[in-house]
Amino acid sequence: MSKIYVCPICKVEVKSTESYFPFCCKRCQTIDLGRWADGSYSIAGEPIPDHDDENISIH
Ligand SMILES: [Zn+2]
């Protein structure tokens, strides 16, 4: 019983014994790291809303 993994970059089947697992090769691993580094992946997700509706009276 062995689960089948696929490379998240190029979607080819990857064995769990692969050196670059879960990637199929060093190139895909580098591409994935690069995506995180340059901010292509949105980690934060939600934008910070403006709080214009806070009615604070300052005298
Ligand atoms: Zn790949």
Q: How far is the centre of ligand 1, averaged over its atoms, from the C-alpha of 37 (Å)?
A: 18
- What does pTM read for this prediction? 0.56
Number of domains in the chain: 1
CB 27 within 8 A of CB 49: no
* CATH number reported for the structural domain that contains residue 22 in this entry: 3.30.50.10
Residue 52 lies in a domain: no
Whole-angstrom distance, CA of residue 45 vs CA of residue 35: 15
Q: How far is the centre of ligand 1, averaged over its atoms, from the C-alpha of 35 (Å)?
A: 14
Residue 58 lies in a domain: no
Residue 48 lies in a domain: no
Residue 43 lies in a domain: no
Residue 22 lies in a domain: yes
Q: How far is the centre of ligand 1, averaged over its atoms, from the C-alpha of 43 (Å)?
A: 22
Q: What pLDDT score was predicted for residue 3?
A: 83
Residue 21 lies in a domain: yes
Domain that holds residue 12: 5-38
pLDDT tens-digit map of 48-59:
667 666 666 766
Residue 11 lies in a domain: yes
